[in-house]
Amino acid sequence: MTVTLPLVNGTSYSTINAYSKDLLHETVKFYENVLGLSSREISETSYILSNGAVTIKVVLSEDSTKAQEHSKRVEFFSKNQSSIDWRTAASSATVFNSADICSVRQKLAASNSPTQSFPSELNPLLLYSIDPLGNLFGVTATKNAISTKPTEKVEESHKKRDLTSKLGSYTDLSSQLATSVDYPSLPTKLNPNKAEKAIAVMTSGGDAQGMNSCVRAIVRSTIFKGCRAFCHGRLRRFSQGGPEYIKEVTWEDVRGWSAEGGTNIGTARCLEFRQREGRLLGAQHLIEAGVDALIVCGGDGSLTGADLFRSEWPSLIDELLKTKKISSEQFNRYQHLNICGTVGSIDNDMSTTDATIGAYSALDRICTAVDYVEATANSHSRAFVVEVMGRNCGWLALLAGIATSADYIFIPEQPAVAGQWQEEMCNIVSKHRAHGKRTSIIVVAEGAIDCDLNPISAKDVHSVLCELGLDTRITTLGHVQRGGTAVAYDRMLATLQGVEAVNAVLDSTPETPSALIAINENQITRKPLVDSVALTKSVADAIHAKDFKKAMALRDTEFIEHFNNYMAINVADHAEPRLPVDKRLKIAIVSVGAPAGGINSAVYSMATYCMAQGHKPYAIYNGFSGLARHESVRSLSWKDIIGWQSRGGSEIGTNRATPEEADIGMIAYYFQKYQFDGLIVVGGFEAFISLHQLEVARDSYAAFRIPMVLIPATLSNNVPATEYSLGADTALNSLMQYCDVVKQSAASIRGRAFVIDVQGGNSGYLATCAALAVGAQASYVPEEGLSLQQLSQDIKTLDESFKKAQGRGRFGKVILKSSNASKAMSAKQIAEIITAEAEGRFDAKPAIPGHVQQGGLPSPIDRTRATRLAVRAVSFIEEQQDVIKSARAADDDFVYEDKAVSATASVIGIRGTHVVFTPIRHAYDFEADIEKRMPKVIHWQATREIADYLVGRKRV
């Protein structure tokens, strides 16, 4: 039905202390009569008054002295009603908004309460009065404190909801929930027959970039699914403070949080919660606030405490009942506490998950810093010792070592040999210098040790390098690694894990073990929280016991693979090749398609790994057309590729010409001339077509009867047989930063939206992921097209959103439009349509980032994944040599139709939880839409639905 909104709104929550029982009851009646609040008794000593938009808690704290002081304050304000301005005499005041200030004044007059009106009694915009406790409160008819424009009366649909907990809702959520019926599907359907849950989220332990995105996703998913969302900032207040620290939050409270660093709800490490008394208080406060499910975003310590909290819950509430801290009704209502964990830790030290929230953002800070110091090191031929975080986990140091081609790294899982590491490090550094390298970068984890558990500090390393005669400097990054906003990957990871955490809570039963939300390869998964934490702690125990082999084995397989890759590519110029002479190969690499972040990293890693194995790496410069026209083949030496790991673009050149377009006969001739034993193609859909053409041409050209593998690299992420292509993360970060800037501009101007043109061809991957990362109001992609009905609905939603904003900050709007989403309407034309339809209420401007989206320096993810895929590609070529030789021996015409032979030409890709090789013939025939230059299966479709409902977008 349609009813008028509450008499007052604005200030969401306040707590008032009454110092006698008479004042308690008098105050409750006062706020009921004057502000139209409904009261609800929590206990004999406390009441909650609420109208759905405002909540006031009145608590009895008997103190006769303070009661007399408050009586004197009431008397003081009453006597000086016309002689002084109350605002100058009071230390604080609570101010509410009201569309009907005259009605409030009439109710105050009926209760004989003194008032002051501003600017005049006849037409007041601001009204002040005194409650029975002597507290000054105000009611304003303006939109904000400095506005002179009255608040308009608004009527809208309002559906009354039965609250499951005793703490009243601070705001009317019906305007947000009303859109839910327009969504075609939800990740988890809420059972309408079950009572709604009150889900609280808290951040604990050390802060990590992306925590805000996680909290935003949890809050909005909770509200969207008809539940109530609460936030709690830290375990310390959880166990020390009262339920007032557990605040119910609304849809708008978390607006814009994805672009902010740190954690807005606060975090801390709490010793009190390690004691049962602290957990007992925490249980009491949760029950008083009405919370029956808790999602914790923190490290292993926080999650350990959370799981212990759940296991103790039955005994905790039993003790609370016996001590009369909770009622029998509350005891029966809150029999179970469901807990779920998301891992926020820059160290990436949680077992069973490939990445924790904040880890890649911290790695990005490290790589940026190393790139900077290496530039100045190159000028002076200096050495730099860079200390990074990681007490018990060397992930940051290891990945930074790979991403920046560091000369040497120190990590706790693989400690240096006591008394020998100095000589070993100096030997490597000296050989690198002797081969022409002007800089030396040593990365030291803060938990670095030798095999006798003696700490190895940056100062220790500095002393050794100085004795070697190098001009050496120390750079300790410290909390810079935690600072700044999250990179795109962490925003997406945190958002998707937050959504999945809400799903896990809604799916859980009293018997369900606490879940940990993890990611494996490219897939969000659920793991038993207690097992993950126990496995994580066992790593530190193994290190302390000097069982370093076990410590490495307990790390996930990707960590071990990264370590082996680093060790392999770091010995390219000074160690004896691993393979015997008869096993050494000639392997070529070529780039096909548009530039993408990570191509140079793939070339560098392929070449250095080949050198370590004993193979001879070749680069085909300027693609297949460069080979056909100019015989642009060069062998790669270690000195030639110094620094390529961290460079953007493509140092060997690239273009879109396929072998057939370039002259496949000439390409076969040069393959035969150089006697290549294997080929690695790096690129996008053109590279996919190129590999297919070479595989088909095996029937005609014997030179192509060699193992060949494609490493997908394109910002479009449109290569079949993989869910991730190199360059997509770099492009996503560049687009995200661009969107953050224009969104800030839009927020400053208040009533403005930007329509941003996004590259990606016929793939909407980039637009979709950017929309999720920046909270875009809408995104249009080629897979769905752009209908006039949807555009009209989005304009209507924009209008509603700007009305709710009322000129407040953080309301910058962006709309992302893939270039091929509509051939009829460009970003500029869409902006013009929005501006025309808005009729002056707001406007829209186009923004075209263009090739900025290809990015500058490749992101750490693209650098390290390029290394991983390149090493696997070379290994694939090594492994397939026997298949090729057997096929040649069996038939001079080559067994072309044999599946094993066909599989020697494959695409390497990430699918779900695995890195897999897919034969190009199968991928081309069954998984590719050649006309649209797209895979047939859109693996990121579910991400679109999440991105839409997290911003309240209605779909037509």
Residue 579: pLDDT band with limits 50, 70, 90: very high
- Assess whether pLDDT exceeds 60 at residue 314: yes
Burial class (CB in 10 A: 0-12, 13-18, 19+), 213: buried
pLDDT tens-place string over residues 60-72? 888 888 888 878 8
Please answer whether residues 907 and 722 qualify as being in contact, where contact means their C-beta atoms are separated by less than 8 angstroms.
yes
pLDDT at 729: 97
The binding site comprises 206, 269-270, 299-302, 345-347, 382, 389-391, 446, 473, 479-482, 656, 714-718, 752, 759-761, 845, 851-854, 933
In a domain, 544, yes or no: no
In a domain, 746, yes or no: yes
What's the total number of domains in the chain?
5
User: At 399, which helix (H) or strand (E)?
Assistant: helix 395-404
Average pLDDT over residues 355-364: 95
Identify the CATH number of the domain in which residue 583 sits: 3.40.50.450
Kind of pairing between the strands at 523-528 and 515-520: antiparallel
Beta bridge partners of 38: 50
In a domain, 947, yes or no: no
pLDDT at 894: 59
What letter does residue 953 receive in the DSSP assignment?
Answer: P
Active-site residue among 253, 347, 364, 490? Answer: 347
- Assess whether pLDDT exceeds 90 at residue 669: yes
Please answer whether residues 665 and 628 qualify as being in contact, where contact means their C-beta atoms are separated by less than 8 angstroms.
no
pLDDT tens-place string over residues 368-393? 999 999 999 999 999 999 999 998 89
Helices (H) and strands (E) in the chain, counts: 32, 34
759 and 835 inside one domain: yes
Go through the chain and tell me how many residues it has.
956
pLDDT at 502: 94
- Assess whether pLDDT exceeds 50 at residue 186: no
User: At 442, which helix (H) or strand (E)?
Assistant: strand 440-445
% of the chain at pLDDT higher than 70: 90
885 and 754 inside one domain: no
Beta bridge partners of 49: 39, 56
pLDDT tens-place string over residues 206-223? 899 999 999 999 999 999
| Structure-token pair, residue 376 | 């100045």
As a whole number of angstroms, the distance between CA 482 and CA 684 comes to: 34
Beta bridge partners of 15: 57
Q: How many CB atoms lie within 10 A of CB 670?
A: 18
Q: Considering only residues 337 and 615, tell me which one the structure prediction assigns the higher pLDDT.
A: 615
pLDDT at 887: 83
CA nearest to 947, candidates 757, 817, 794, 771: 771
In a domain, 541, yes or no: no
582 and 673 inside one domain: yes
pLDDT at 41: 77
Q: Letter for the amino acid at 167?
A: L
pLDDT at 772: 95
By three-state DSSP, how is residue 678 classified? strand
Average pLDDT over residues 411-437: 93
Of 854, 876, 901, which residue constitutes the final position of a domain?
854
Find the range with the poorest average confidence among 170-184, 389-403, 727-741: 170-184
Residue 180: pLDDT band with limits 50, 70, 90: very low
As a whole number of angstroms, the distance between CA 609 and CA 638 comes to: 11
User: At 228, which helix (H) or strand (E)?
Assistant: strand 228-232
At 370, give phi and psi (nearest 5°).
-65, -40
317 and 287 inside one domain: yes
735 and 812 inside one domain: yes
- Assess whether pLDDT exceeds 50 at residue 172: no
As a whole number of angstroms, the distance between CA 119 and CA 250 comes to: 33
Residue 146: pLDDT band with limits 50, 70, 90: very low
| Structure-token pair, residue 249 | 């939050």
Give the distance between the most distant pair of CA atoms in the chain: 112
As a whole number of angstroms, the distance between CA 402 and CA 406 comes to: 7
Please answer whether residues 126 and 142 qualify as being in contact, where contact means their C-beta atoms are separated by less than 8 angstroms.
yes
Find the range with the poorest average confidence among 64-78, 611-625, 753-767: 64-78
The binding site for Mg(2+) comprises 300
Most confident of the ranges 35-39, 173-177, 324-328, 757-761: 757-761
As a whole number of angstroms, the distance between CA 794 and CA 802 comes to: 12
pLDDT tens-place string over residues 685-731? 999 999 999 999 998 999 999 999 999 999 999 999 999 999 999 99
DSSP states along 871-895: HHHHHHHHHTHHHHHHHHHH-TT--
As a whole number of angstroms, the distance between CA 654 and CA 854 comes to: 14
190 and 224 inside one domain: yes
270 and 190 inside one domain: yes
As a whole number of angstroms, the distance between CA 429 and CA 451 comes to: 21
Find the range with the poorest average confidence among 99-113, 182-196, 423-437, 709-723: 182-196
Identify the CATH number of the domain in which residue 380 sits: 3.40.50.460
As a whole number of angstroms, the distance between CA 321 and CA 327 comes to: 6
Find the range with the poorest average confidence among 301-305, 695-699, 907-911: 301-305
As a whole number of angstroms, the distance between CA 872 and CA 866 comes to: 10
CA angle 18, 19, 20 (to 5 degrees): 100
12 and 151 inside one domain: yes
789 and 908 inside one domain: no
Find the range with the poorest average confidence among 80-89, 259-268, 773-782: 80-89
140 and 29 inside one domain: yes
Of 821, 839, 854, which residue constitutes the final position of a domain?
854
In a domain, 236, yes or no: yes
As a whole number of angstroms, the distance between CA 113 and CA 722 comes to: 71
The binding site for beta-D-fructose 2,6-bisphosphate comprises 656, 714-718, 752, 759-761, 845, 851-854, 933
The binding site for substrate comprises 345-347, 382, 389-391, 446, 473, 479-482
Residue 105: pLDDT band with limits 50, 70, 90: confident
Find the range with the poorest average confidence among 156-165, 430-439, 531-540: 156-165
Average pLDDT over residues 129-157: 62
Residue 131 falls in the annotated catalytic set: no
| Structure-token pair, residue 382 | 């200096």
pLDDT at 429: 95
Cα four-point dihedral sign 734, 499, 794, 802: negative
In a domain, 953, yes or no: no
Of 823, 854, 885, which residue constitutes the final position of a domain?
854
Q: Considering only residues 170 and 428, tell me which one the structure prediction assigns the higher pLDDT.
A: 428
Identify the CATH number of the domain in which residue 44 sits: 3.10.180.10
As a whole number of angstroms, the distance between CA 843 and CA 828 comes to: 12
By three-state DSSP, how is residue 458 classified? helix
Cα four-point dihedral sign 720, 668, 589, 759: negative
pLDDT at 2: 38
In a domain, 909, yes or no: yes
Residue indicated by tokens 């038939």: 891
Burial class (CB in 10 A: 0-12, 13-18, 19+), 119: exposed
- Assess whether pLDDT exceeds 90 at residue 102: no
pLDDT at 813: 92
Domain that holds residue 303: 174-354+487-534
As a whole number of angstroms, the distance between CA 296 and CA 299 comes to: 9
Within 631-713, residue ranges assigned H as helices are: 659-662, 664-674, 685-696
332 and 192 inside one domain: yes
pLDDT at 613: 96
As a whole number of angstroms, the distance between CA 411 and CA 404 comes to: 16
Residue 811: pLDDT band with limits 50, 70, 90: confident
CA nearest to 361, candidates 345, 372, 349, 350: 345
pLDDT at 154: 38
pLDDT tens-place string over residues 613-666? 999 999 999 999 999 999 999 999 999 999 999 999 999 999 999 999 999 999
% of the chain at pLDDT higher than 90: 58
In a domain, 686, yes or no: yes
Please answer whether residues 656 and 590 qualify as being in contact, where contact means their C-beta atoms are separated by less than 8 angstroms.
no
pLDDT at 232: 72
320 and 264 inside one domain: yes
